[in-house]
Amino acid sequence: MLESVGSCKMPRFKVGDYVERIGPLVPENMRFGRIVRVIGPPTGLPDKLTWYEIAFHLGLMGTCGQTELRLAEDPAPTDLGHP
């Protein structure tokens, strides 16, 4: 889902946001991380198909869909995805 800012559409999350993966099968070491890249949906597809590259604890990286994430309280604004 994109949020409107004036006449411009913005992704729900942005680079640097601290997020939590949601769902019953998420491993604990990949539950919290920081957005490092926004991968927009291909032209003509719904905005809810936005994907995000995320840096997790111990240098793990992953790609998650917008519907798999929610904003989380940032434990340390300078701590790049390492809770």
Which of 64 and 44 is assigned the larger pLDDT?
64
Q: Is the pTM of this model over 0.85?
A: no
Residue 7 above 50 pLDDT?
no
Q: Model confidence over 10-31: pLDDT tens digits?
A: 568 999 999 999 999 999 999 9
Confidence of residue 75 (pLDDT cuts 50, 70, 90): confident
Q: Model confidence over 59-72: pLDDT tens digits?
A: 999 999 988 999 99
Domains along the sequence of the chain with CATH: 3-71 (2.30.30)
Which string of b and e fits 8-35 if b means at least 16 CB within 10 Å?
eeebbbeeebbbebeeeeeeeebbbbbb
